[in-house]
Amino acid sequence: MKLLYGSGLEETRTQDIREALIRIKTEMGELSLNPLMPSTNPVCERFLTSLPGVGTKSARCLMMYTLGRKTFPADAHCIRVLSRIGVIRKSRDHREDQEKLADLVPANLAYKLHVNLVAHGQEICSAANPRCTKCPLTRFCKTPRSQILTAPEKHRDGPTVVDLFCGAGGTSFGLARAGYRIKAAIDNDSWACQTYRLNHPEVDPDRIVCKDIHEVRASNLLDPKATGPVDLLVGGPPCQGFSTIGARIRGANGEKRFINDPRNELYKEFVRLVRNIKPRVVVMENVLGLFSLKNGYYRDQILQDLNHGYATRAVRVNTHAFAVPQRRLRALFVGISGAHFGDKADVIVTNIMERLGSFRNPGPTLSQAIADLPKLDQNDGGEVCRKPTRRGRLSAYALEMGAGSQTVIFNHVSRPLNIRDQLLYGLLEPGEKGHDAVEKHGARHLMVYRDDIFHDKYRRLVYEKPSPTVMAHMAKDGHMFIHPDPDQNRSLTVREAARIQSFPDDFIFYGPRTYQFQHVGNAVPPRLAERIGAIIRQEVVAAGHVW
């Protein structure tokens, strides 16, 4: 207890302590709080707060540290940190905040949370000068988030973007790194929108629209006070009408129309918003199957649909050529507005597509991407856990992802495995698949799929190669993504999948783990989006336009 000598406070405190000790000896029969052990928490708190000089916080500290009670003493540090990250709204009455937190904090977390919040408040999140650059909770904290959102416009003067089907925000994240300003984003997945809001504090929360795209109008996405057109509209609408059913959809003139397939309603809405918003540049990212099916017929239909006022081209890309540690083949469609760029539109789009198609900056290996992450067994890890100090040299990629600066790691939880899968995983060497286990070890009894058809259903990855395509199917199981390290007999975690997609370690995914895997698998790798944005911007500027 800190006494303010010379103010008279020390005499008051000394008197309080003397009277408290007398009361304890009189009522307990000894100078000890042990007789309170059988009592309930309310009884303990009532007795302790009846002692002179003991308030609610002090009483709860005594209960937690001395009596081992699962209670939460909320001091100024706890209240400050939790109010800054939005758990409570700080009031003027300390006791009111105490009671709010007493109801919010789970009893099993009370001790650890109190100790860590006090330490964090003292060392990082101080009242006057918080050290936000050293804080692992920056994504959650309203102090740095509000500073980013209200930053002067001169620091946010890049081309504007509207991101349709934004998902968790991989495209937006990459474009922001390329100097773009994200003005609006839309998705109908509430968990994806929460993830987007968390990781994009620079975007006005009112312009992150969680709604069915059929119900969205341009006015929902655009700020009525904004002047000038949107510079870039991006999106990856799901296109499922690739079967012969799609070929039977015909227009009024007898032509088969991709846009009229009812399963491509989302693509149709994408085209509608392009025509309503009239951006300077359009980018649509999608599966490579759009190129090959029907001998490119679907690709040509999409080019025609986007060609209203735009010079359009399509190109296939492999994300590994864009410094992503993953082989992921995708189709890109780019349109340049003739209304904004005139005769130069065709030259600009041609140059962009030539550069994208020929770009070669091979990504790192799987080892360089994920080997530094904490080792786990099956059913191990945590949504938030402290990252152990790693010995040895980190790859340049791992350092860029945050391996050298992050003190905690998020979304690093491994799936539980039944005994059958544990045994089967253990038989696979790096690069081997379930079929190999059947051939080499007679392990057909461990396979739940036909090994003559589903060769890839069980696959152990290889450290020395890039990863195969990370897919949303990982939400169902991880059998196709068994960790390359035989000592980690498990499938990949969300964090590892995110690293492979080029999401940095401080990009945090919300929601149940199945949704987290979906959001990672469906995302455009930020590194790919960043390079696309940079090339577009460079070619527009080279053509004599200010961007």
CA 176 to chain centre: 15
Contacts 24+ apart (CB under 8 A), 265-268: 265/214, 266/165, 266/213, 266/237, 266/238, 266/239, 267/237, 267/238, 267/239, 267/302
Nearest partner of 309 among 348, 341, 333, 356, judged by Cα:
341
How many other CB atoms are there within 10 angstroms of residue 45's CB atom?
20
* Distance in angstroms (rounded) separating the CA atoms of residues 359 and 281: 20
* Distance in angstroms (rounded) separating the CA atoms of residues 281 and 533: 11
* Distance in angstroms (rounded) separating the CA atoms of residues 166 and 192: 8
Q: Phi and psi dihedrals of 313, rounded to 5?
A: -145, 165
Cβ–Cβ under 8 Å, residues 221 and 206? no
If residue 535 lies in a helix (H) or strand (E), which one and from where to where? helix 526-542
Is 239 labeled as catalytic in the residue annotation?
yes
Quickly tell me which residue has 């009277």 as its tokens.
19
* Distance in angstroms (rounded) separating the CA atoms of residues 24 and 18: 10
* Distance in angstroms (rounded) separating the CA atoms of residues 235 and 368: 30
Cβ–Cβ under 8 Å, residues 224 and 200? no
Q: Which amino acid is at 447?
A: M
How many other CB atoms are there within 10 angstroms of residue 339's CB atom?
11
How many other CB atoms are there within 10 angstroms of residue 350's CB atom?
15
* β partners of residue 412: 382
Kindly list the catalytic residues. 239
